[in-house]
């Protein structure tokens, strides 16, 4: 009986340590983060139903490190001529009339020591959905991917057509391992 209690205690301790280690491994990962915004902006209607390309609004993504949040004037390109009015559109128009910026809440956050350049990815033909998920189906934008170093490296390896599994990489020859591939050196993302 005493042995059973000891075993149950050990199993319980192992489970608790495992659960704690898992939680610690998730620190800084905001997958599923979906904050409320000051104006409910339905990407589903804009990018999905109306098929407005991501780069129409987030035009800075072509040439800049940051995709940028579009200025309200971009929204008004359409909303000045559309007859449909909602409470959210009225909030937008009021902000424009008062020349008050909309204080959007950032959804995708990377640590300060990570360098990410949207334009490099756009020019390389990486679809926005690869990192941001199916935004065209989202009423409220949610962080789709974990955006961890491992997740990014796996994508970079796939793009460079390198093995993604640990075993496959371990079986590469030294010459194959040293093959230059864009974005696989530490300095590409860390400075």
pLDDT band for position 164 (cuts 50, 70, 90)? low
pTM for the model: 0.75
pLDDT band for position 169 (cuts 50, 70, 90)? low
Tokens of 63: 């040439």
What rounded mean pLDDT belongs to the chain? 85
Encode pLDDT of 109-121 as tens digits.
999 899 999 999 9
- Is the distance from CB of 71 to CB of 78 less than 8 angstroms? no
Closest CA to 156 of 129, 132, 184: 184
Asked whether the predicted pLDDT for residue 50 surpasses 70, the reply is yes
Asked whether the predicted pLDDT for residue 98 surpasses 50, the reply is yes
Mention every residue, 6+ apart, whose C-beta is less than 8 A from residue 96: 72, 73, 76
- Is the distance from CB of 177 to CB of 169 less than 8 angstroms? yes
Given this model, what pLDDT does residue 167 score?
Answer: 59
The alpha-helical segments, DSSP class H, found in the chain are 2-25, 43, 54-57, 72-79, 87-97, 118-123, 128-132, 149-159, 166-170, 174-177
Q: What is the DSSP string of 49-65?
A: IS---HHHHSGGGGTSS
Mention every residue, 6+ apart, whose C-beta is less than 8 A from residue 115: 65, 188, 189, 190, 191
Given this model, what pLDDT does residue 6 score?
Answer: 73
CA–CA separation, 3 and 144 (whole Å): 46
- Is the distance from CB of 188 to CB of 149 less than 8 angstroms? no
pLDDT band for position 24 (cuts 50, 70, 90)? very low
CA–CA separation, 50 and 10 (whole Å): 57
């Amino acid at each position: 009986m005493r042995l059973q209690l000891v075993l149950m205690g050990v199993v319980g301790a192992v489970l608790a340590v495992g659960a704690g280690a898992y939680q610690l491994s998730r620190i800084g990962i905001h997958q599923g983060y979906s904050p409320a915004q000051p104006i409910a902006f339905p990407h589903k209607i804009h990018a999905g139903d109306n098929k407005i390309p991501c780069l129409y609004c987030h035009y800075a993504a072509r040439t800049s490190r940051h995709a940028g949040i579009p200025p309200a004037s971009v929204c008004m390109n359409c909303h000045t001529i559309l007859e449909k009015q909602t409470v959210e559109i009225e909030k937008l128009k009021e902000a424009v009339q008062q020349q008050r910026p909309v204080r959007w809440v950032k959804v995708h956050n990377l640590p300060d020591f990570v360098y990410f350049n949207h334009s490099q990815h756009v020019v390389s033909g990486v679809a926005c959905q690869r990192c941001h998920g199916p935004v065209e189906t989202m009423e409220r934008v949610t962080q789709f991917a974990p955006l961890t170093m491992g997740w990014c490296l796996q994508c970079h390896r796939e793009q460079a057509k390198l093995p993604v599994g640990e075993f496959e990489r371990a079986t590469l020859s030294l010459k194959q391992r040293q093959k230059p591939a864009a974005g696989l050196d530490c300095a590409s993302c860390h400075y």
